[in-house]
Amino acid sequence: MVPVIALVGRPNVGKSTLFNQLTRSRDALVADYPGLTRDRKYGQGKMLGRDFMVIDTGGISGDEEGIDHVMAEQSLLAIDEADAVIFLVDGRSGLNPADEMIANHLRLTDKPYHLVVNKTDGVNPDVAIADFFELGLSQPLPIAASHGRGVKSLIELVLDAF
């Protein structure tokens, strides 16, 4: 079985950028994976010789970005479908109330998750992650999705459990 990784986080943190990095736009055919729905975007990733599937959430139909309850619902559904969760936050804008909401969901699930601080290019990663210890989740991991920095070690960490 191929591990399924969900990308969750509030709008604009870089989920789709990371999705594209991981899948290089190899979109998965939902029909090949019973149980998955068309409301979320699925892609196939291959990195470090391992196959995995990635789920992107939010902004798929174009009109749900910024609508908190829809974001929350999509996150919950994606978490349900996933074997592991990447929770993305924005290292440039700092902690946000919507981050807290998603953190609360993650605390209620038994899925393994990784707190990942994106957009740490051109900033001090230690400073960028500092805000997010307050969420009380896992150790925040800095990446820069648009540059691909930290992405390989992130996937290595996520796939290590499978």
Binding-site residue positions = 9-16, 56-60, 118-121
7/36 with CB nearer Mg ion: 7
Which residues are annotated binding-site positions for GTP? 9-16, 56-60, 118-121
Out of 7, 16, 22, 141, point to the residue binding Mg ion (CB under 5 A).
Answer: 16
Hey, is 7 helix, strand or coil? Answer: strand
Binding at 86: pick from ligand GDP, Mg ion, none (beta carbon under 5-8 Å per type): none
Residue 60 touching Mg ion (CB under 5 A):
no
- 52 Cβ partners below 8 Å, 6+ apart? 2, 3, 4, 5, 22, 44, 45, 46, 155, 159
Nearest to 139 by CA among 102, 87, 93, 90: 87
Residue 112 touching Mg ion (CB under 5 A):
no
24/161 with CB nearer ligand GDP: 24
Q: Say how many Å lie between the first and final Cα of the chain, rounded.
A: 10
Distances (CA, A) of 152 to 21, 70, 126: 10, 30, 19
- From the list 42-50, 59-67, 69-77, 103-111, the region that binds Mg ion by CB under 5 A is 59-67
61/139 with CB nearer Mg ion: 61
Residue 146 touching Mg ion (CB under 5 A):
no
Q: In terms of DSSP H, where are the helices of the chain? A: 15-23, 68-81, 97-108, 125-130, 151-159
Residue 14: CB minimum distance to Mg ion, A: 8
Binding at 145: pick from Mg ion, ligand GDP, none (beta carbon under 5-8 Å per type): ligand GDP
Which single residue is written with the structure tokens 């975007």?
41
Binding site for Mg ion (CB under 5 A): 15-16, 59
